[in-house]
Amino acid sequence: MLLITCPHCGPRAQTEFSYERTVDSVVQPGAAPAEAMARLFTRANPRGLDDEIWRHTFGCRAWLVLTRHRMTHAITAIRAAGPEALP
Amino acid sequence: MNGPRRGGAAGAIRFTFDGRALLARPGDTLAAALLANGIGLVARSFKYHRPRGIMAAGVEEPNALVTVGAGGREEPNTRATDLFVYDGMVARSQNRWPSLAFDAGSVLGLAAKALPAGFYYKTFFGSAKRWMFYEWFIRRAAGLGDAPTAADPDRFTQRAAFCDVLVVGAGPAGLSAALAAAEAGERVMLVEQDRILAPSLVRDPQDLDPAWAEATAARIGELGGRILLRTTAAGYWDDNLITVSQRLAEPGEPPAGGIAQRLWHVRAGRVILATGALERPLAFAHNDRPGVMLSQAVRTYVRRFGVVPGRRVVIAANNDDAYLTATALRDAGAEIVAVLDTRPVPAGATSGFPVHNDAMPLATKGARHHLREVSARVGGKVMHWRADLLAMSGGFTPVVHLHMQAGGAALEWDDASQSFLPGGARQNVVSVGSAASVAPVGPTPPPENPGKAFIDFQNDVSLGDVDLAWAEGYRSVEHLKRYTTLGMATDQGKTSNMAALGRLAEKQGVAIPEAGLTTFRPPYTPVTMGLLAGRTERDAGAHLRRLALFDVHQAKTPIWQPLGYWKRPRAYPQGGENLAEAALREARSVRTAVGMTDVSTLAKFEVSGPDAVQLLELVCATTVGKLAVGRGRYTFMLREDGLVFDDGTVWRLAENRYLLTSSTGGADRMAVHLSYVRQFLCPQLKVSVVNVQEHYAGIAVAGPTAKAVLAGLIGEEVPRHMSAVGASIAGSPVMVLAASYSGERAFEIYAEASLAEPVWNACEAAVTAQGGSLYGMEAMEFLRIEKGHLVVGGEVDGRLTPHDLALDKMLNKAGGYIGAAGLARPGLTAPGRKQLVGLEAIAGTIPEGAMLVTALGQPAGGHVTAAARRVLESGSIALGQLVDGFARHGEELVATSPTRSQSAAVRVVAPHFYDTAGERYRD
């Protein structure tokens, strides 16, 4: 079980968090159908680092963006969500 | 084995084994007590029902599995070597009939040649019918103990702990490591699966002894360290989380404090594994006979338990452990008739025992209960000895399970000890003591009769089975494991994996490390289900969300219906009514007079701010912007892929303040969805979303006289359909929304939850005065099915588009809502999609959940999503999804439910059965 350092609450057990989706799956309003479908259904699934959206569901409920390694689970960056957290 | 092997008093702890009353001494394991009572035969093997005794003295024991305890405390497949006897313990052997000594299943052993590895795969490749026929016999013949059926009366708890250093294993290495960490000021936790500290020092006292262990533990305790005995680190997870199971009572034993076991989640800064090493058996014919034991285990029985498992002993080994055991046995009065050392001269030359070098056992002979003779090849010749105990040692395997579970860990092959040693690891973990290095071994000659040379005693896998799997083309160690079942079941191959790996490598002509390893998975030793469930058993398994008016309903003794974590009244039966009768009366009351029901659980969100409408038009697929203040409308929401996932209503309460309602079941999901939209899709909007689901309690009043009831309650003009007004009832401020789910003129009255009870009471008095009644969810279901209203989770199942649900005319023409892009996919408008239809029975009753077929035996072309009877008239009706259903009105189909053995002829119709002109809910 991962230990995730919430920027608001500090290190907490993974069971307090929920994984929501990858950052590259976010479909902005007004996206063209082709782009929207590519983001939903043909995402990259890198064997390495990826940006993911999580939520501190049973803590401060904040949305978080994690950079997590898909093989080792190592979390190299974690930041509170906001427009600046999105690429 | 025949007769007691222990001097002194028999002990005072009473227990039974297979109904036989026996005595044990304090501190005895069941295995030790059975040996002390001269019982050598304790189990039948898994597949061939071969007689088996006790081979080991620890958790690695593959043979001696017993069922212990009675009733709800019964625990099957418990290792007799890992079970301390308590007064009144009831243990029995497994997998035998009618008795352990005379087991009918042992004829399978005579037919062992007919039951090779992969037997089931080969035999049951054919038709399913054949398998069904054999299955009954196989389930009876093979296997372990039976699962208990009664509820466990004891409690299992869970705890979290944090430490700088977790040390696993309280042997000399673990104690030393824990002491060093504690002296350095670190928070230390030390766990030991045995019930005593440093059991290896009792077995082999050297310069350190049990007194040192006690003193060291005391010092660790003084420094603030926590030591848990009878506690096993069973699983190693990410970020140094170790799950640790602590026994507070022995298996089957009534726990003194009511708690049988405790599961610890330990988050450690670093982990020190002092988990020791396990001895490996040697492979030779009939090496599984009672009386053949591991060398170190024999020493444990002699020194720790005072039990001498044999009087005339042959010891066979490829390492020096043989001489330690020989010494212990000689000191205890046993005769060492031979030490068979696989190593050449001068190994053992100075030991003073009758050593034979270049020697390897060939076979054993004996009866069911005991060993009689050992034969061996010594150099070029075959020799025989009469013996009642054969102690064997094939070297040692470090316990690397936790190291490997740590993930990304590596093992390094050590040729001298013929074992894998823990290498580097991604996590902060290190192994010490014999978990990190073990003594070198000599050669291990292959058996001359591999078919009878068992390596996995628990699964009856011989070296011959490994050869067979190889011959049949199984090359990968993972395939070998699955084909032969080697390394499976409760011991997970603790004593067998290395032998199999060695054989496989030999066949492949490669070094052992190149043959690969199977995955080490948690738990290290079996964990009971109750421990994993912890306190979440029985009623504590799920939360109960109480309605604000829960007590008001409870006083009317309704039939409750679970809805997610909520409980809602399903019906309020009167005078001996059953559910169907009560629901029909309640529904008729709504159709003919007036009814009221609790709708508090609906999802409710207050959306306010200058940009509120922009957020709503993003979330809702319908237009919201044109809504006048004080008006509301139906709405629905799409996922990004264009499919409908929820519906509800949106109300404009003030210029920049809206109320959005949606389904009860989707309430939590909708809250997350709205939060996501705010954070990621429109963070720039000036809008606030507040979840007010439980802030308000809701009461729906519906029926032809509902308007009159409302007029009496709020004393002002009642709002017209889809309008909202603020008012006051019984002194509590309320919000009245005129919306109908039943098809009748109806109002939803919302009051702050804490003020809702007087409002309910006033409404109930007014409704009763009008000749109306309360109604529950069952009546609501009757009403809405007849009216053709949708339910999220029923008709709206996440697979239909607005078009499929005939909602497409309401879509916001300007687009811009979530899901608009997804809806553009051509597949969502192609023919062949399921569409919402109504169904009316031509004859019979439409079964719930039925599939729709053109005739019995034909493939399903749709299904019934909700079925009911007409409220005022007779007849069975339903809503359903049907392929191309819009174009099939008038068609006759069969609604059939094989699980209910019920069918009905149905006609496809429009999904509206009542007031199709829509006149009743308007003024």
DSSP sequence for B501-561:
HHHHHHHHTS-HHHH------S-SS---HHHHHGGGSGGGGS--BPPTTHHHHHTT-PEEE
Q: Which residues of B touch A35 (CB under 8 A)?
A: 821
Is B229 within a domain?
Answer: yes
The answer to whether residues B345 and B474 belong to one domain is: no
The three-class DSSP label of residue B243 is strand
Asked whether the beta carbons of residue A33 and residue B825 sit closer than 8 angstroms, the reply is yes
Per-residue confidence (pLDDT) for residue A83, from 0 to 100: 60
Asked whether the beta carbons of residue B680 and residue A36 sit closer than 8 angstroms, the reply is no
Mean pLDDT in residue range B842-851: 95
Q: Which tokens in the block code for residue B791?
A: 């339910």
Distance from CA of B681 to the nearest CA of A (A): 6
Is B537 within a domain?
Answer: no
The three-class DSSP label of residue B58 is coil
Is B191 within a domain?
Answer: yes
Asked whether the beta carbons of residue A29 and residue B818 sit closer than 8 angstroms, the reply is yes
Q: Which tokens in the block code for residue B656?
A: 């920049």
Per the structure, the count of domains in chain B is: 7
Distance from CA of A21 to the nearest CA of B (A): 11
Q: Which tokens in the block code for residue A81?
A: 């969500």
The DSSP symbol for B113 reads G
Chain B residue with Cα closest to A73: B238
Q: How would you write the pLDDT of chain A (87 residues) with one tens digit per residue?
A: 999 999 999 999 999 999 999 999 999 998 999 999 999 999 989 999 999 999 999 999 999 999 999 998 999 999 998 766 555
Q: DSSP of B838-866, one letter per residue?
A: EEEEEES-PPTTPEEESSTTSPP-EEEEE
Cα–Cα distance, B204 to B573 (Å, whole number):
74
Residue B429's DSSP bridge partners are B271
The answer to whether residues B433 and B507 belong to one domain is: no
Q: Summarize pLDDT for B519-530 with one digit per residue, the tens.
A: 899 999 999 989
Nearest to B845 by CA among B871, B867, B873, B872: B867
Distance from CA of A68 to the nearest CA of B (A): 13
Instruction: Say if residue B606's pLDDT is above 80.
Output: yes
The answer to whether residues B612 and B629 belong to one domain is: yes
Using a CB–CB cutoff of 8 Å, tell me whether A32 touches chain B. Answer: yes
Last residue of a domain, one of B81, B114, B147: B114
The DSSP symbol for B767 reads H
Cα–Cα distance, B64 to B16 (Å, whole number):
15
Instruction: Say if residue B148's pLDDT is above 80.
Output: yes
Chain A residue with Cα closest to B681: A28
Asked whether the beta carbons of residue B816 and residue A30 sit closer than 8 angstroms, the reply is yes
Asked whether the beta carbons of residue B241 and residue A29 sit closer than 8 angstroms, the reply is no
Instruction: Say if residue B36's pLDDT is above 60.
Output: yes
What is the reported pTM? 0.89
How long, in residues, is chain B? 923
Q: Quick check: B395 and B419 in contact, CB under 8 A? A: yes
Q: For residue B146, give the amino acid letter.
A: D
Q: Summarize pLDDT for A62-87 with one digit per residue, the tens.
A: 999 999 999 989 999 999 987 665 55
Cα–Cα distance, B50 to B360 (Å, whole number):
23
The answer to whether residues B271 and B295 belong to one domain is: no
HSE-up of residue B573 (Cα within 13 Å, Cβ side): 9
Asked whether the beta carbons of residue A63 and residue B680 sit closer than 8 angstroms, the reply is yes
Mean pLDDT of chain B: 93
Is B515 within a domain?
Answer: yes
Q: For residue B767, give the amino acid letter.
A: V
The answer to whether residues B758 and B648 belong to one domain is: no
Q: Which residues of B touch A53 (CB under 8 A)?
A: 680
Chain B residue with Cα closest to A12: B267
CATH code, domain with A76: 3.30.2270.10
Instruction: Choose among A14, A29, A63: nearest Cβ to B679.
Output: A63
CATH code, domain with B387: 3.50.50.60
Q: Name the pLDDT band for B3 (thresholds 50, 70, 90).
A: very low
**Domain residue limits at A80:** 3-85
Provide CB contacts within 8 A for B5, sequence distance 6+.
Answer: B35, B36, B38, B307, B308, B309, B310, B311
**Domain residue limits at B332:** 282-393
The answer to whether residues B707 and B590 belong to one domain is: yes
* Residue of A24, A27, A53 to mutate, testing the B interface (most B Cβ within 10 Å of its Cβ): A27
Distance from CA of A70 to the nearest CA of B (A): 13
Nearest to B249 by CA among B98, B396, B9, B87: B87
The answer to whether residues B61 and B34 belong to one domain is: yes
A–B CB contacts, 8 A cutoff, strictly below: 67
Is B620 within a domain?
Answer: yes
Mean pLDDT in residue range B440-455: 94
Q: Name the pLDDT band for B114 (thresholds 50, 70, 90).
A: low
The answer to whether residues B179 and B240 belong to one domain is: yes
Asked whether the beta carbons of residue B824 and residue A33 sit closer than 8 angstroms, the reply is yes
The answer to whether residues B406 and B489 belong to one domain is: no
Residue identified by tokens 């390495």 is A48
Pairing of β B188-191 and β B226-228: parallel
Chain A residue with Cα closest to B815: A30
Q: Quick check: B658 and B635 in contact, CB under 8 A? A: no
Distance of CA B554 to the CA centre of its chain: 34
Q: Name the pLDDT band for B428 (thresholds 50, 70, 90).
A: very high
Per the structure, the count of domains in chain A is: 1
CATH code, domain with B456: 1.10.10
Distance of CA A83 to the CA centre of its chain: 13
The DSSP symbol for B738 reads -
Alpha helices in B111-191 (DSSP H): 119-123, 128-141, 172-183
Tell whether the torsion through CA atoms of B892, B898, B900 and B901 is positive or negative.
Answer: positive
Residue identified by tokens 């001298």 is B416
The answer to whether residues B184 and B271 belong to one domain is: yes
Q: Which residues of A touch B822 (CB under 8 A)?
A: 33, 36-37, 40
Cα–Cα distance, B838 to B866 (Å, whole number):
10
Instruction: Say if residue B508's pLDDT is above 80.
Output: yes
HSE-up of residue B607 (Cα within 13 Å, Cβ side): 28
Instruction: Choose among B239, B426, B640: nearest Cβ to A36.
Output: B640
Q: Summarize pLDDT for B784-816 with one digit per residue, the tens.
A: 999 999 999 999 999 999 999 999 999 999 999
The answer to whether residues B308 and B359 belong to one domain is: yes
Chain A residue with Cα closest to B269: A3
Is B923 within a domain?
Answer: yes
Using a CB–CB cutoff of 8 Å, tell me whether A9 touches chain B. Answer: no
Q: Which tokens in the block code for residue B653?
A: 């309460």
Q: What number of other Cβ atoms are within 10 A of residue B921's Cβ?
A: 20
Using a CB–CB cutoff of 8 Å, tell me whether A33 touches chain B. Answer: yes
Using a CB–CB cutoff of 8 Å, tell me whether A53 touches chain B. Answer: yes
Provide CB contacts within 8 A for B578, sequence distance 6+.
Answer: none
Last residue of a domain, one of B114, B133, B168: B114
CATH code, domain with B891: 2.40.30.110
Alpha helices in B156-281 (DSSP H): 172-183, 199-203, 210-222
Q: Which tokens in the block code for residue B475?
A: 């090359």
Q: Quick check: B315 and B339 in contact, CB under 8 A? A: yes
CA angle B682, B684, B690 (to 5 degrees): 65
Q: What number of other Cβ atoms are within 10 A of residue B615's Cβ?
A: 25
Asked whether the beta carbons of residue A72 and residue B407 sit closer than 8 angstroms, the reply is yes
The answer to whether residues B371 and B415 belong to one domain is: no
Instruction: Say if residue B672's pLDDT is above 60.
Output: yes
Q: Quick check: B410 and B400 in contact, CB under 8 A? A: no
The three-class DSSP label of residue B773 is strand
Q: In what order do the strands lie in the sheet with B657-662?
A: B632-638, B644-654, B657-662, B603-608, B688-691
Q: Quick check: B340 and B318 in contact, CB under 8 A? A: no
Q: What number of other Cβ atoms are within 10 A of residue B245's Cβ?
A: 25
Q: Summarize pLDDT for B569-591 with one digit per residue, the tens.
A: 999 999 999 999 999 999 999 99
Q: Quick check: B605 and B621 in contact, CB under 8 A? A: no
Instruction: Say if residue B665's pLDDT is above 80.
Output: yes
Q: Name the pLDDT band for B825 (thresholds 50, 70, 90).
A: very high
Q: Quick check: B334 and B315 in contact, CB under 8 A? A: no
Asked whether the beta carbons of residue B681 and residue A36 sit closer than 8 angstroms, the reply is no
